[in-house]
Amino acid sequence: MISQVRVRAHAKINWGLELLGRRPDGYHEIRTVMQTVSLHDDLMVGLSPDGVQLRVSGDFDAPRGPENICWRAAEAFRETFGRPGGACIELCKHVPAGGGLGGGSSDCVAVLAALARLTGLDGDERLREIAAQLGSDTVAFLTGGATMCSGRGEIVEPLVAGRTYDLVIARPDEGVSTPEAYQGIGHEDFSDGSGMDAVARALSSGAPPERLSELCLNAFTRSVVARMPQIGALVDWMIDLGAVGAHMTGSGSAVFGLATDAAAADGLAASLRDMGYWSVAARTVDAGYTLGENLNHE
């Protein structure tokens, strides 16, 4: 039996995000098209006889105790399946927090997938239930690729994209928490969700980047940019530098720009780094996580 599993936890962008209204349970009803990308955190996960052990390294810091979603995922896995012991997790962070890139949710699912592989519980439907309990957008990472997400984000419909897209992703120094983003939402930010149908059709047809960008929209943009004008400035800089379109992802503060090809994305990322932004070139991928035996194919 294998004792450890290496896994990549892919980040995501939102091609678009609509808010349909406030629900009786206090959450907002959303409709969003999410897309996993090549930017990822790296994890090594093994079984432990003595609870959860977590080590964090990499480009960004993260909690090292029970408040970390990886820790909570391991505990939830143990409780759900009634298994003794715990997990030993090494997390190397490359995805910044507070950017709307889903790094924590992706890490959570990567831990669940690794523990399922280590214990022979791959494919158990209860993994989906655990993921949904731990976060609103976690379930989409079990599927990966392009997904239409509704409800709080836990209702996930896989989409088939007709092509791969090259991107640049950048973020100002300051992040945005999801509660902060929701605080500024008004009735003018609500819509009927039909914009996401248009995005899904464009993805399915393999629309060129310029056409896809025309359809991207984000209900959080107005309120978040009003609070953090540097996000709007970053969007403008991306377009000035040659992106065919640029948009905030999730509740911010990260921005993605569509590029014509990989070389253009590399050049955009380098230019933005020269300006002092954290920035990487990326591409769309079909997986929410990549387990060890498949890593060489990325």
Looking at the predicted structure, is the pLDDT value of residue 266 above 80?
yes
Looking at the predicted structure, is the pLDDT value of residue 293 above 80?
no
Interatomic CA distance for residues 255 and 169, integer angstroms = 6
Q: Which fold has domain 4-159?
A: Ribosomal Protein S5; domain 2 (3.30.230)
pLDDT tens sequence across 49-97: 888 999 999 999 999 999 999 999 999 999 999 887 789 999 999 999 9
Is residue 12 part of the annotated active site? The answer reads yes
Is residue 137 part of the annotated active site? The answer reads yes
Looking at the predicted structure, is the pLDDT value of residue 297 above 70?
no
Q: Which of 12, 41, 93, 107 is catalytic?
A: 12
pLDDT tens sequence across 5-58: 999 999 999 999 999 988 888 788 999 999 999 999 999 999 998 889 999 999
Find out whether 92 and 115 touch, Cβ atoms under 8 Å.
no
Provide the mean pLDDT of the chain. Answer: 93
Q: Which of 41, 42, 107, 137 is catalytic?
A: 137
pLDDT at 113: 96
Cα angle for residues 36, 59, 114 (degrees, 5° grid):
50
Tell whether the torsion through CA atoms of 27, 17, 10 and 147 is positive or negative. Answer: positive
pLDDT tens sequence across 151-197: 988 899 999 999 999 999 999 988 888 888 888 898 899 999 999 99
Of how many residues is the chain composed? 298
R_g of the chain computed on alpha carbons: 19
Q: In CATH, which of 3.30.70.890, 3.30.1600.10, 3.30.2140.20, 3.30.365.10 is domain 166-283?
A: 3.30.70.890
3-state secondary structure 98-165: CCCCCHHHHHHHHHHHHHHHHHCCCCCCHHHHHHHHHCCCCHHHHHCCEEEEEECCCEEEEECCCCCC
pLDDT tens sequence across 115-147: 999 999 888 889 999 999 998 889 999 999 999
pTM: 0.94
Phi, then psi, of 83 in degrees rounded to 5: -95, 140
Give the domain ranges of the chain.
4-159, 166-283
Interatomic CA distance for residues 258 and 213, integer angstroms = 7
pLDDT band at residue 1 using 50, 70 and 90 as cut-offs: low
Q: What is the SS3 assignment for 278? A: strand
Structure tokens at 297: 């194919």
